Chains A and B, each alone.
Chain A
Amino acid sequence: MIDSSTMQKPKISVDSLNFFYGKSQALFKISMAMEAQQVTAFIGPSGCGKSTFLRTLNRMNDTIDRTYIEGTVMIDDQNIYAPDVDVVHLRKRVGMVFQKSNPFPKSIFENVAFGPRIHGIRNKSDLYSIVEKSLEQAGLWNEVKDRLNNNALGLSGGQQQRLCIARALAVGPEVLLMDEPASALDPRSTARIEDLIGDLKKNFTIIIVTHNMQQAARVSDYTAFFFEGELIEFGETKQIFTMPKQKKTEDYITGRFG
């Protein structure tokens, strides 16, 4: 089912992953690989486990009580669930952007500087250049460079989401996880985020969850279709959307359910 052999060098490879919320199993035997500097999209009907799977990749599920995981997730040949893994370090390498933009109630500057600061960067001018670079990368610099000290909550929804992207980029991740990053935004802001993803993939491995089929088709190189906790089909986006191999995938893509 999964043809990871065609990939150059998978950044992340997942093997036989089972995931449980207490007694209820949310993910069943997921195996797949995600290539570096490519965009992989997760699609599937609500409740099929996309977010859960995404959150296993930076161990955010660790923060929920009574969750269990089986199987392995390798990032650059290191199992992130190995006992000696430092979660703080992992999350530095694997950044995350959430569905609802969630800037801290601090200034724009402090939002972006927060990550580097807690990771030990104290020097003012170093911080400033990181903030500038991250905001540039997130396509927000020109809009906010004159008001870095204003409260981030005063930005528009789309700007807030790009600020959250900048904040995630500021810690220097290699992988960027995005859980429906544009679902709460207007079409123009959504288009900006999509453009941004196209730019970012040059430097990052991007995994995006989306409910929007067109969006998945537009931004991603690979697409994984999930259904009821199982990975039904995974392949190049072009193939998934034009010649799906599974009946379920076809039904979902053509809008017969979901």
Chain B
Amino acid sequence: MRAAFIIAAKDLSQRIRDRSAILLGLVAPLGLALIFGAIIPDTAGGSFDVFLGYVDEDRGQVSRGFIEEVLPDVVAEGLATATSYADLDGALADVEAGTIHALYVFPEGLSDGVMAGQGGTVRLVGNVDQSISTQIAEAILDGYLAEVDAISIAVGAAVLNGATDPEAIIATAAGAPAAVVLADTEAASRELDIVTFFSAGMAVFFLFFTVQFGVSSLLEERFHGTLPRLLGAPISRWSILGGKALTSFVLGIVSMIVLAVATTLLIGAEWGDPAGVLILMLAGVLSALGIMAVVAVVSKTPEQAANWQSIVAVVLGLLGGTFFPLSQGPAILSLFSKLTPHAWFLQGLGDLSAGDGLAVVVTPALAMLAFFVVTVALATLLGRGKVLAP
């Protein structure tokens, strides 16, 4: 065990020094997430018609400010249409049907609550297949709530993510000092907003490049002739493999966590409940590690391994829907994508953001762990008597 740590510490310092891990693990995914995050909503704004709806049960200052001042401007710009609904059920049915992309619900007593400093909740309900429209709808409301904060009443706009029960949201908000709470939930299974989607997609895509630095370094040890030295040292053979796996694991999990924090701070990605995110990340890193270990085991040189690992990482990444939301592709693709850990990871994050608690990550995490178990078994089988031969 101690030897595994010594080996991993050496490997990690080598990887940090040659910067390749930092480049592939942090710079590339963060850069792409930033670029996608910046481009996609813009192009979407021009080419999308956003069908917005609203239910005004509040009939107070807060709801009127939005409906009479903000929405008309948006509609005037030709960006969206806005439909008023008297009854919530009818409105929700239209959201479900897709004739309305996103629905604002201003509950009764919202303005009063805000005036009294108790806060309140605006609900935003999006159609499951219209994540970009929902994202735009959210951005519009966000801007308004920030304005409410700035000019009139001293209220803060907090974003409460991940609750589906409107009563629960209102109950929380009533007791909280924060005044206006924006709750967005989609009608069915929840998809990630576009910024979070690209942040998570790029993170898991590049994860498969990052972990290869550990598992493939065994080939490098052989190439540099240092493997016989490790084999001759008074350490167990498992600790050599353990050290390499540990290197991969640390590189993978650290890059994921740093990316989650960075995209949250820089572009407002909303990864969701940290505990759930961490569980998904751990399972995702293990699955990547196992898959890359198989590729390393069947490779003869570090270069060969790097080439194959890149191919595998790109193919799985594309198939797994890390570059475009799966719901926007054909159904067959989303079925195939379940053969990749990437899709499970993104699905897990999506479900997590729907706010049904931690239980929703269990299935995706188990699916990714299954990849880990199967690939590790395969790597063991293929590498028997070969991996640690001098």
**Are A and B physically bound partners?**
no
Interface residues of A (CB under 8 A from B): none
